[in-house]
Amino acid sequence: MPRRSVAGSIVSVLDVTDVVVEYRRPGRDPVRAVAGVSLSLDAARILGLVGETGCGKSSLARAAVGLVRPSAGSVRFNGELVTPLGRRTRPMRQTRLQMVFQDPFSSLNPRRKAGEQIADGLAISGKGSSGQRRVRVGDLLSQVGLPASAASRYPHEFSGGQRQRIAIARTLAAEPTVIVADEPLAALDASIKAQLANLMISLSRELGAGLLFISHDLAIVRHVADLVAVMYLGLVVEVAPTREMWAMPLHPYSEALIAAVPRLDRIRALPAALPGEVADPAHPPQGCRFHPRCPYVFDRCRIESPPLREVAPGRQVACWLQEQGRARALPRAQRPPA
């Protein structure tokens, strides 16, 4: 059940606070993949996390489920500190914090039947007899659109899309309160992507589970997410309700990402939409990390790093162009389209 505040409003099920993830490399400078990120996820809500490859999305996802220990900051699941995976003392209730990976083949055991792997999640909760678990495995397969006979097949006997369905069924077996999905559709064909995106939306709503949906594919995120957080070089630079961000992005990077989403009449990749490359995370630029690529850069940007702050109800942005409580359209958006 979603936790509720005293006033009755739904409170967050996953809280990421000032999280830093740093990787040490022998003889080289450490890489700060996540440089201090705070996010919260509510029950039955879908938060999309977007950004280019290497921006720190996957490191943040791994920290959120305890696969990586943050160098600083904290992650709380239902109010309780997340215990790193691998520790035998990880509380049973934290099994309700589940992750779906990009590559279902590597996340499934090739030598075990699909049904056995799904039943593992049920066994963790210790619920039901073995007969009841068999029936439940059939139910879960049906929920993800596979026949009950799939339980007796091995991972290599399925297509990529079917394997991802099995991975999702296994995740659902643990009755998750929060699902962190890291590029879950990246390896799939376009038609399967749409089907699985719809499946993830309906399962999140039915279960009341919060879903952190991580992707570099903005078209999918726009379809799936209630809220979007944009990451650039280890930091979140904008958070907004999905529709509002598409209607009026407040950060220049969000604006460039949205402009780069392929359309039938205009197919562009991000590097073509923005000058320059993403900087080395081991040596981020001084001031605003986006300033070497920003079309609106001015002197202050090169010196001071803008904090993420609320500029309108439900809208946070880290950019000196935006003033607290006074969100405004970016200058380029005010020009008529070319």
Residues making contact with ligand SF4 (CB under 6 A): 251-252, 288, 290-291, 294, 296-297, 301, 306, 319-321
Nearer to ligand SF4, 102 or 316 (CB): 316
The set of residues, in sequence order, having a beta carbon less than 8 Å from that of 22 and lying 6+ positions away, is: 30, 31, 32, 33, 71
Closest distance of CB 317 from ligand SF4, Å: 9
Q: How far is the CB of 242 from ligand SF4 (least distance, A)?
A: 21
Q: Which of 185, 329, 187, 186 is nearest to 258 (CA)?
A: 329
**Least distance CB 299 / ligand SF4 (angstroms):** 9
Q: Three-class SS of residue 236? A: strand
> Rounded CA gap, 58 and 182, in Å?
6
In the complex with ligand SF4, which residue's Cβ is closer, 151 or 311? Answer: 311
- Closer of 80 and 323 to ligand SF4 (Cβ): 323
User: What is the nearest approach in angstroms of ligand SF4 to the Cβ of residue 232?
Assistant: 9
Shortest gap between Cβ of 209 and ligand SF4 (angstroms)? Answer: 34
State which residue, 79 or 295, has the beta carbon closest to ligand SF4. 295
Q: Say if residue 232 is exposed, middle or buried (CB neighbours under 10 Å; 0-12, 13-18, 19+).
A: buried
Return the amino acid letter for 87. R
CB atoms within 10 A of CB 111: 9
Q: Shortest Cβ distance from residue 68 to ligand SF4 (Å)?
A: 28
Q: Which helix (H) or strand (E) holds 137?
A: helix 130-143
- The residue among 280 and 323 lying less far from ligand SF4, judged by its C-beta, is 323
Strands (DSSP E) contained in the chain are 12-25, 28-42, 46-50, 72-77, 80-81, 97-100, 178-182, 210-214, 227-232, 235-241, 309-312, 315-317
* Residue placing its CB nearer to ligand SF4 in the complex, 40 or 305: 305
- Other beta carbons within 10 angstroms of residue 185's beta carbon come to 24
